[in-house]
A and B are shown apart, each in its own frame.
Chain A
């Protein structure tokens, strides 16, 4: 005469999913009858019996393949023409804590890799930096030059600069302080723009290859041309001047500006003067790590004037924008939706 067996309970015990209270119940069940102990003994044999094993896979090799295909890790490649930005630079990210900044820097993976641009230059040990949303980073380059990067920026530079040039790659926004070097021009590749500097301080705004690239000089001067150009249509930008390249067109004639307007982001302030709402929203997204969704896309083309400071709560700016364009919004998860 056996009491009915609670197989669910046995199952939970055998698989380790049993709760402490149930464990007590189970214990008393197993001690109540030696037959019960036998049952568990048999089940243990079954449970511990090895099954048919698949052939061993090489996890490291598999992992490497995944990382390469995902564009996270580099492999040896040759490029016949320069393709803008890190879509082909295979951004790698590794967490590094530096001073007060959190950045993603890729280093170790490149030890054995080489990189060829335009069939001419070779880069070993390229560092890639991706600045996370809400943060800023300051990089000291191998020659002592400094690059300050805004949130969401992707930036690449070699571990050691070549003997004849100092070349870096940018998608996003960066302010450069370049150490003078007559024999080694400092070159910035930013989307469709190519910037050549001798020694100076300037700001580059290059967020997306389909949008425009803005270069503003605070000190010294730079030579700006579009990537495909051989130099015939380059412009020199002097102190307190700005020039813009749209798509692959020629740079605009430099106009005088207040560079403070274009570099205040370094101090976490941005002024937008009669600027498309889209640009303001993009900046808010990167500084506060939010997503914005506009049901009425036309609103993004509205020009507004606004100053934003990163330490202010983003809600204030959302309310301000809402009242300027006279549209209500809703927030859910991390998305702000304007009707």
Chain B
């Protein structure tokens, strides 16, 4: 992620109509935001649209951007909100309306997956079985590369909570995968 100082500079320039810097912002964040949205909506087109809309809104409201706030948290939060809204409005029975099922997994438990000799599936299934909040935070750290502080901002929780949940995730994962990993 950009250092705070550079980010604040970018925001000031974008506020001042600098569309070349805005383009840099899009180039930097589009793919990570797309992957983030995709975990929610599980559909390429929808994920792309959601991220596009967030960038467009950001440009249209550029006069109101606050350089003292983190732009990445702002973007992730907006994408998350739009993704949840999308899931609500789609009324698709495969999706739930909160963060619960945001990874596409087979739904089997780790041991079954292991029996099928698919280690990758086993590990990912274990991650999928984490308690909801714990899993969301863990995935944001692992796949989106957000800092504790950015995760806290995006989800509107304290950094301490993020820290606790990450620790908890590792503890649980280690326990549920201990036997699988030992045998390999």
**Are A65 and B164 in touch, CB under 8 angstroms?**
no
**Are A8 and B59 in touch, CB under 8 angstroms?**
no
Q: B23, B44, B148, B164 — which one has the most chain A CB atoms within 10 A of its CB?
A: B23
Closest CB in chain B relative to A136 CB, distance in Å? 15
A117 within 8 A of B: no
**Are B104 and A49 in touch, CB under 8 angstroms?**
no
Give the secondary structure class of B's interface: helix
**Are A54 and B34 in touch, CB under 8 angstroms?**
yes
**Are B19 and A54 in touch, CB under 8 angstroms?**
no
Q: Which residues of A contact B139 (CB under 8 A)?
A: 51
In the assembled complex, the Cα of A67 lies from the Cα of B103 at a distance in Å of 31
**Are A67 and B18 in touch, CB under 8 angstroms?**
no
Q: Which residues of B contact A95 (CB under 8 A)?
A: 18, 20-21
**Are B44 and A17 in touch, CB under 8 angstroms?**
no
| Contacts between chains A and B (CB distance < 8 A), count | 133
**Are A93 and B17 in touch, CB under 8 angstroms?**
yes
In the assembled complex, the Cα of A133 lies from the Cα of B17 at a distance in Å of 10
8 Å CB contacts to A: which residues of B88-124? 103-105, 119-120, 123-124
Q: Which residues of A contact B52 (CB under 8 A)?
A: 62, 65-66, 69
Q: Which residues of B contact A10 (CB under 8 A)?
A: 167, 170
Given the interface pairs A7-B167, A69-B56, the reply to whether A93 lies near B30 with Cβ below 8 Å is no
**Are A72 and B23 in touch, CB under 8 angstroms?**
yes
B153 within 8 A of A: no
**Are B177 and A62 in touch, CB under 8 angstroms?**
no
Q: Which residues of A contact B181 (CB under 8 A)?
A: 42, 45-46
8 Å CB contacts to A: which residues of B19-35? 19-23, 26-27, 30-31, 34-35
Closest CB in chain B relative to A128 CB, distance in Å? 10
**Are B17 and A92 in touch, CB under 8 angstroms?**
no
**Are B16 and A133 in touch, CB under 8 angstroms?**
yes
A255 within 8 A of B: no
| Nearest-neighbor residue (CB-CB) of B148 within chain A | A17
Given the interface pairs A52-B103, A65-B52, the reply to whether A104 lies near B31 with Cβ below 8 Å is no
B71 within 8 A of A: no
B6 within 8 A of A: no
Q: Which residues of A contact B171 (CB under 8 A)?
A: 5, 7
**Are A67 and B142 in touch, CB under 8 angstroms?**
no
**Are A14 and B27 in touch, CB under 8 angstroms?**
no
Q: Which residues of A contact B51 (CB under 8 A)?
A: 62
A99 within 8 A of B: no
Given the interface pairs A42-B181, A43-B170, A43-B174, the reply to whether A93 lies near B60 with Cβ below 8 Å is no
Given the interface pairs A11-B166, A66-B56, the reply to whether A54 lies near B17 with Cβ below 8 Å is no
**Are A54 and B44 in touch, CB under 8 angstroms?**
yes
A280 within 8 A of B: no
Given the interface pairs A7-B167, A39-B174, A49-B123, the reply to whether A63 lies near B27 with Cβ below 8 Å is yes
B47 within 8 A of A: yes
Q: Which residues of A contact B55 (CB under 8 A)?
A: 66, 70
In the assembled complex, the Cα of A112 lies from the Cα of B167 at a distance in Å of 54
A132 within 8 A of B: yes
8 Å CB contacts to A: which residues of B145-184? 147-148, 163-164, 166-171, 173-174, 177-178, 181
| Nearest-neighbor residue (CB-CB) of B160 within chain A | A8
**Are A59 and B178 in touch, CB under 8 angstroms?**
no
A204 within 8 A of B: no
| Nearest-neighbor residue (CB-CB) of A57 within chain B | B34
Chain B proximity mask over A1-38: 1 for CB below 8 Å, otherwise 0: 00001111111101101000000000000000000000
Chain B proximity mask over A44-76: 1 for CB below 8 Å, otherwise 0: 011101111111010100110111011010000
| Nearest-neighbor residue (CB-CB) of B141 within chain A | A15
A302 within 8 A of B: no
| Nearest-neighbor residue (CB-CB) of B42 within chain A | A54
In the assembled complex, the Cα of A69 lies from the Cα of B51 at a distance in Å of 13
Instruction: Identify which of A49, A57, A104 contacts B17 (C-beta below 8 A).
Output: A104
**Are B120 and A49 in touch, CB under 8 angstroms?**
yes
Chain A proximity mask over B65-102: 1 for CB below 8 Å, otherwise 0: 00000000000000000000000000000000000000
A213 within 8 A of B: no
**Are B38 and A11 in touch, CB under 8 angstroms?**
no
Chain B proximity mask over A103-117: 1 for CB below 8 Å, otherwise 0: 010000000000000
- The 9 A-B residue pairs with the shortest CB-CB distance, nearest first, are A7-B167, A11-B166, A54-B38, A11-B167, A8-B167, A93-B19, A72-B19, A49-B123, A70-B59
8 contacts between A and B (CB under 8 A): A8-B167, A17-B148, A46-B126, A51-B103, A62-B52, A69-B52, A95-B18, A95-B20
Q: Other CB < 8 Å A-B pairs besides A43-B170, A91-B19, 15 of them?
A: A7-B168, A7-B170, A8-B166, A10-B167, A46-B126, A49-B124, A51-B103, A54-B44, A55-B44, A57-B47, A62-B30, A70-B19, A93-B17, A104-B18, A104-B19
